Amino acid sequence: MPTAGTLLTRIRHHDESNIGLVSLIMSDMIFARLLAVWPSVARKLEEDGNPSENTPEALPASEHSRWLWARVEPDPEALWIEASGLPDAAHVRRAMRVLMDNGAVFPDGGVSLWVESYLRQTAKRAGVERDEVGAGAGADDE
């Protein structure tokens, strides 16, 4: 039986070749909006207390990812919907599940390297540079 830590490692390893995520994100602005707020949601999640926990014996391999996500506390879906400003509707929850199941976001709060690259490129095209973000944060403090 794989452990929670092994499953997370497997998901992250698959990410290296998961460039198709970019097409998925570009297909629907709900995906992009959910991904944009995931880092703020992830900061509110508790660390996994037992990465060596084994998956249940009767659980088929196709359900391992869902089992891993079910261990995340608190339930990220409600926090995610609230942070996104999207309605708590079936299509939004379906979009979250698609992002989870396809490795766009990780149960430990991370995001796919392809998602991160896409978000950076989107910000760059919008004219937002990293230096501007840092300068803007300091300007309010004075």
pLDDT digits (tens, 9 = 90+) for 25-53: 888 899 989 998 999 999 998 877 678 88
3-state SS, residue 27: coil
Domain ranges of the chain: 4-129
Instruction: Please state which of the ranges 9-23, 25-39, 74-88 shows the lowest mean pLDDT.
Output: 9-23
What integer pLDDT is reported at residue 138 of this predicted model?
A: 46
pTM: 0.79
Query: In 3D, which of 5, 29, 27, 16 has the Cα closest to residue 108?
Result: 5
Within a 13 Å sphere around the CA of 36, how many CA atoms are in the beta-carbon half?
18
CA 124 from centroid of its chain's CA atoms: 21
Q: Sign of the C-alpha dihedral, residues 47, 112, 3, 80?
A: positive
- In 3D, which of 30, 38, 115, 21 has the Cα closest to residue 76? 38
Average pLDDT over residues 63-82: 90
Q: Which residue has the tokens 């939004």?
A: 92
Contact 105, 8 (CB under 8 A): no
Query: Which element (helix H / strand E) includes 105?
Result: none
Distance from C-alpha of 140 to C-alpha of 71, rounded to nearest angstrom: 39
